[in-house]
Amino acid sequence: MDTNSMSYKTKNFLMFAGVTTFVFVAVVIAPFVYGLYLTLTSWDGVSLNKPFVGLANYSATFADTAYWQAMGRTMIYTLIAVVLVNIVAFILAFLVTSGVKGQNFFRAGFFVPNLIGGIVLGYVWKFVFNRAFVAVGEALSVGALKTSWLSTPKGAMLCLIIVAVWQYAGYMMLIYVAGFMSVSNDVIEAAKIDGCTNMQTIVHISVPLMVSSFVQCLFLTLTRCFMVYDVNLSLTKGEPFNSSVMAAMHVYNQAFTYKNFGTGQAEALILFVVCAVVGMAQVYIGKKAEVSA
Amino acid sequence: METLNEKAARNQKIAAVVKICLLLVLFVAFVFPFILVIVNVFKVKADITMNPMALVGAHGFTMQNFPNAMEKMHFWRSFGNSACITIISTALTLLLAAMASYVLVRNNWKACGLLFGAMIASMVIPFQVLMIPLVSLYGGILGLLGHRATLIFMHVGFSLSMATFMFHGAINTNVPIALEEAATIDGCSKWQTFWQIVFPLLKPTIATVAIIDAMAFWNDYLLPSLVLTAKELYTIPIATQVFYGTYSTDIGLIMAALLLAMLPILILYVFLQRFIVEGVTSGAVK
């Protein structure tokens, strides 16, 4: 049998990867390319013809102040959420690897929020913010809690950040736990013998050896926060007064509520490019900081 | 006088107590929202509005929220839809990705490099970039929206890259090529070699990919909400969202609906906790 002939290759490729190639192209590649074309047309989502408009959608995007406001808001949200998620996750990982009793139980518990979809989580927290916090505020007469945080623009943003930290910290904790485990005991002991305190060992030995965990966690939280939609929809729905509409929600509304599919797609594309550039830059800088023991 | 060792031992004990306390406080903060839902689900509406923090309401204990919410959100229908879509999508993803990765790892043909490269590159594309063209292609041009099969097809398409990538790594590191050569000498075709030798060796990766994808499919909201246009097809996340929109003032029903939406996966977690935690970690680290 000639394993170098074209027919053998084609037959084998199609037999194993034919369906995969078809589904992948049909669901990812074709829509991606078609999406690039859509940004050059004006389409309302109903009519059969899609008039070609050149770069009008891109100029509409640049003129869309609501979009850039949403983008700026998303960046602030992402920045604060990413920092807090990783600080909390790192502390959790440190605590559950420090040899206290029941650490597996704690690990499992902190991970629970990741099991549940953003829509349901958002509604659960809506209840907490709207009812529970207010009830506590009234019972203890704490002014800051008496009105729901979700009713003010700054408060709604704070709520979104709190939920993001709560939602992702357990997941990132697992990655940091793997990082802590990968630092060998020999180096830790050597540092201790040389007179390092626990704190010094973490800062000067563990953290530099865990840079790859940091890169990974930062990338994951960054991309997830940037593209937040589910929790945004169920927790705040963009309210009050559209002050908590994140970029992804703005894109969704632009296309499916206001029926500007072309502009919506152009805005989605720019959002993706910004997110990708930030993500890549972070990974690039992080990789440079990696050291080995 | 205290020796240095005694002092160190005492410090360590204090540190351990501080750590446990800190963990407990954080743990309570993490489970607090869930506890709150569980406490309130057994109260009548007036009691929840009165004081959501009370353990038992003035009107006592009630189970009535459950049957009401189940009936109004068509719980079993949504559950069936979610289960059917999740199971079929996961199984198809596993089979297709494992098969494709085998041909991709073992051959350096041009088509293999092209497909694998495209898959890796596509992993950075967020769903939001594809949703508008997806709706206009499958809805506007092909008219295929509103079927479970379309959603399954798309779920599989979106998860294939990641799954293929993971199987690719697993075959590279865990499947010795000598084993396959032995099978070929014994007269196995490529097809037989794959199913009888390679596929069984991939079990740990199959478990990891199955857990990651099944959880993603079960919890997904945005894609199903765009594809499943008819009420009869709603999955649990969509049913919850629609239910919330309709009954947002009936807070007792809402509590029951939220708990029902979380319960299936929480029950599964109790039994498969180790596998889920391990699976998600190894998936992320790759």
pLDDT of residue A80: 94
Q: Look at B281 and A220 and tell me if their CB atoms are within 8 Å.
A: no
pLDDT of residue B47: 76
pLDDT of residue B286: 53
Rg (CA), chain A: 24
- With CA atoms as reference, the chain A residue closest to B237 would be A119
Distance CA A88, CA A98 (A): 15
DSSP bridge pairs for A52 = A41
Multiple choice CATH, A66-288, 3.20.20.70, 1.10.1740.10, 1.10.3720.10, 3.40.630.30 = 1.10.3720.10
Distance CA A245, CA A212 (A): 33
Contact B256, B72 (CB under 8 A): no
Distance CA B99, CA A21 (A): 11
Percent of chain A whose pLDDT exceeds 70: 97
The C-alpha torsion from A64 through A69 and A70 to A74, rounded to 10°, is: 140
Rg (CA), chain B: 25
**Interface residue A252 vs chain B (CB under 8 A):** yes
Best of B75, B128, B262, B276 to substitute, by most chain A Cβ atoms within 10 angstroms, is: B128
- The yes-or-no verdict on residue A1 having pLDDT over 70 is no
Distance CA B22, CA A53 (A): 59
Q: What is the pLDDT of residues B234-277, one digit of tens each?
A: 998 898 888 888 877 788 888 888 888 888 888 888 888 888 88
pLDDT of residue B285: 58
Indicate the pLDDT class of residue B29, thresholds 50, 70 and 90: confident
- The yes-or-no verdict on residue B146 having pLDDT over 90 is no
ipTM: 0.86
DSSP bridge pairs for A41 = A52
Report domain extents, chain B. Answer: 4-50, 73-247
Q: Which residue type is seen at B76?
A: W
In angstroms, the first-to-last Cα distance of chain B is: 54
Q: What is the pLDDT of residues A194-207, one digit of tens each?
A: 888 888 888 888 88
Contact A234, A123 (CB under 8 A): yes
**Mind telling me how many Å the CA of A262 is from chain B's nearest CA?**
9
**Interface residue A98 vs chain B (CB under 8 A):** yes
The closest CB to that of A109, out of B30, B100, B255, belongs to B30
**Torsion sign, CA atoms A34, A40, A46, A47:** negative
Which positions 206-235 of A are in contact with B (Cβ < 8 Å)?
Answer: 216, 220, 223, 227, 229-230, 233-234
Model confidence, pTM = 0.87
- With CA atoms as reference, the chain B residue closest to A265 would be B132
| A26, containing H or E segment | none
**Mind telling me how many Å the CA of B85 is from chain A's nearest CA?**
16
Distance CA B74, CA B88 (A): 21
Q: What is the pLDDT of residues A205-258, one digit of tens each?
A: 888 888 888 888 888 898 888 888 988 988 888 788 888 888 889 989 888 888
| Angle separating helix axes A118-127 and B4-41, nearest 10 degrees | 90
| Angle separating helix axes A261-288 and A56-63, nearest 10 degrees | 70
- With CA atoms as reference, the chain B residue closest to A47 would be B140
Q: What is the pLDDT of residues B219-246, one digit of tens each?
A: 999 999 989 888 888 998 898 888 888 8
Distance CA B98, CA B106 (A): 13
Distance CA A275, CA A224 (A): 10
Question: What residue spans of B42-64 are helical by DSSP H?
Answer: 45-50
**Interface residue A11 vs chain B (CB under 8 A):** no
pLDDT of residue A81: 93
**Torsion sign, CA atoms A44, A45, A50, A53:** positive
**Mind telling me how many Å the CA of A54 is from chain B's nearest CA?**
17
Best of B36, B55, B93, B129 to substitute, by most chain A Cβ atoms within 10 angstroms, is: B129
Considering chain A, what is the average pLDDT of its residues?
Answer: 86
Contact A226, A85 (CB under 8 A): no
Task: Indicate the SS3 state at residue A169.
Answer: helix
- The yes-or-no verdict on residue B1 having pLDDT over 70 is no
Residue B272 phi/psi, 5-degree rounding, is: -110, 20
Q: Which residue is associated with the tokens 């990783």?
A: A86
Multiple choice CATH, B73-247, 3.30.540.10, 2.70.98.40, 3.40.50.1220, 1.10.3720.10 = 1.10.3720.10
Best of A27, A61, A258 to substitute, by most chain B Cβ atoms within 10 angstroms, is: A27
Q: Which of B55-64, B108-117, B152-161 has the highest mean pLDDT?
A: B152-161
How many CB atoms are closer than 10 A to CB B136? 22
The closest CB to that of A131, out of B22, B52, B100, belongs to B52
**Interface residue A156 vs chain B (CB under 8 A):** no
**Mind telling me how many Å the CA of A11 is from chain B's nearest CA?**
11
